[in-house]
Amino acid sequence: MTQYYVPIEEQLLILNALIIEATRSLEKKPEGSLLVHQKGGSSQYYWKKGSCRSYLPKKEKAQAAKLAQKTYDKMFLRLALEIRKDLESIQNNHCSRSASFMYQPLAKVYTDQSLSRQSLIHPYVLPDDLFIKEWLSIPYDGLSFTDLDPMILTDQGERVRSKSEKIIADKLYALGIPYKYESPLYLSNLGTIHPDFMLLDLSERNIVYLEHFGLMQDPNYNLQAMNKIDSYRMDGYHMDDTLLCTFEGGRYVFHSAAFESMLRHRFSLS
């Protein structure tokens, strides 16, 4: 099965930015460390300096957060530097590797912390579930509907513009592929457009756009569709990688099973 990986040089850029962020954070942290004790179902925080420790009341929670962040920063940096060394070796040998080998262990640095510590920490790499939640929560201005548009709802109650788009949305949801409907994208040759679907490739933490071209029997529509695909390509979005396209029109009907096969192939789903 074909794999679609974020290039190693891009992974290194992302990782280096995270290393810089964690390093700057660590430089500002106070001396000492945080001790956490559980008592009666609640957490009590203590500031340990040398052999001494002092209780941190709720009003000093910010200090507890700094100390918790300090421990996390150290653990994160230690692992991030190891991963950078591995990536540089892979790059020198002209190899490729999924970005999940970077994201998963770095996210685990956060999830390995106790819940009481997690509540104090700003993680640089979120675990998958929190990453999806945050990605979906980012607001955007989609296209509006008019009274002339048909009322077509997905199984999740989201309004779409055609029966084929409903099939697409329902299939994405069933396969667990996070998506946003008609989220804006700027293309240099077209300006701001609203792709039918913006998909999240979670393993690579990368964006894939999905366009459904549903009136291919119309010569003018057909020409506009081809020009739109070329505009994507000119901005670095490539077919079957960061751009997926489906078609229908005239005697050619949108094929749901073929679409699912395409998704399973692209997102390496069993």
Model pLDDT for residues 158-217, shown as the tens digit of each residue: 999 999 999 999 999 999 999 999 999 999 999 999 999 999 999 999 999 999 999 999
First to last CA, the chain: 11
Structure-token pair, residue 211: 């366009």
Residue 48: inside a domain: yes
Task: Burial-class residue 197 by CB neighbours within 10 Å (0-12, 13-18, 19+).
Answer: buried
pLDDT tens for 120-156 read 999 999 999 999 999 999 999 999 999 999 999 999 9
Show which of 91, 123, 155 is a domain's final residue: 123
| pLDDT at residue 3, as a whole number | 72
| pLDDT at residue 55, as a whole number | 95
| pLDDT at residue 41, as a whole number | 82
Same structural domain, 73 and 153: no
Structure-token pair, residue 217: 């029997």
Q: Coil, helix or strand for 214? A: coil
**Which backbone phi and psi does 17 adopt, to 5 degrees?**
-65, -40
What percent of the chain has a predicted confidence (pLDDT) above 70?
A: 99
State the virtual CA torsion across 193, 199, 201, 204 in degrees, nearest 10: 20
The yes-or-no verdict on residue 35 having pLDDT over 90 is: yes
The DSSP-derived string for 111-171 is HTS-HHHHTT---SS--HHHHHHHHHHS--------TTS--EE-TTS-EESSHHHHHHHHH
Beta bridge partners of 44: 37
Q: Which domain holds residue 213?
A: 137-266
Residue 66: inside a domain: yes
Same structural domain, 114 and 161: no
Same structural domain, 103 and 203: no
| pLDDT at residue 2, as a whole number | 58
Give the number of other Cβ atoms within 10 Å of residue 207's Cβ: 16
Alpha carbons 162 and 223: distance in angstroms, whole number = 21
Of the listed ranges 73-82, 131-140, 189-198, 250-259, the least confidently predicted one is 250-259
* Reported pTM: 0.91
Same structural domain, 97 and 182: no
Alpha carbons 64 and 58: distance in angstroms, whole number = 9
Same structural domain, 199 and 231: yes
| pLDDT at residue 131, as a whole number | 98
The domain that contains 159 carries what CATH number?
Answer: 3.40.960
Show which of 123, 154, 173 is a domain's final residue: 123
H or E segment and range at residue 229: helix 219-234
Alpha carbons 131 and 110: distance in angstroms, whole number = 12
Same structural domain, 70 and 143: no
Residue 37: inside a domain: yes
| pLDDT at residue 178, as a whole number | 98
Residue 259: inside a domain: yes
Q: What is the rounded average pLDDT for all residues in the chain?
A: 95
Q: Region 21-28: what's the mean pLDDT?
A: 96
Same structural domain, 106 and 21: yes
| pLDDT at residue 201, as a whole number | 97
Alpha carbons 61 and 185: distance in angstroms, whole number = 41
Alpha carbons 79 and 101: distance in angstroms, whole number = 12
The yes-or-no verdict on residue 68 having pLDDT over 80 is: yes
Residue 161: inside a domain: yes
The yes-or-no verdict on residue 231 having pLDDT over 60 is: yes
State the virtual CA torsion across 25, 26, 27, 29 in degrees, nearest 10: 100
Q: Region 234-246: what's the mean pLDDT?
A: 95
Show which of 123, 153, 172 is a domain's final residue: 123
Distance from chain centroid for Cα 229: 24
Same structural domain, 118 and 141: no
Domain count for the chain: 2
Q: Region 76-85: what's the mean pLDDT?
A: 98
Residue-wise over 137-175: b if at least 16 C-beta within 10 A, else e?
Answer: eeeeeeeeeeeeeeebebeeeebbbbebbbbbbbebeee
Same structural domain, 18 and 93: yes
Q: Region 66-75: what's the mean pLDDT?
A: 98
Same structural domain, 160 and 259: yes
The yes-or-no verdict on residue 1 having pLDDT over 70 is: no
| pLDDT at residue 40, as a whole number | 80
| Sheet bearing 42-49, strands edge to edge | 33-39, 42-49, 52-56
Place of tokens 């929190």: 130
Place of tokens 């009481």: 116
Structure-token pair, residue 39: 């008592």
| pLDDT at residue 39, as a whole number | 83
Sign of CA dihedral 142, 143, 147, 149: negative
Residue 130: inside a domain: no
The DSSP-derived string for 95-108 is ----THHHHHHHHH
Residue 113: inside a domain: yes
Residue 83: inside a domain: yes
The answer to whether the beta carbons of residues 74 and 26 sit under 8 Å apart is yes
The yes-or-no verdict on residue 95 having pLDDT over 70 is: yes
Same structural domain, 157 and 261: yes
Same structural domain, 162 and 209: yes
Q: Region 213-241: what's the mean pLDDT?
A: 95
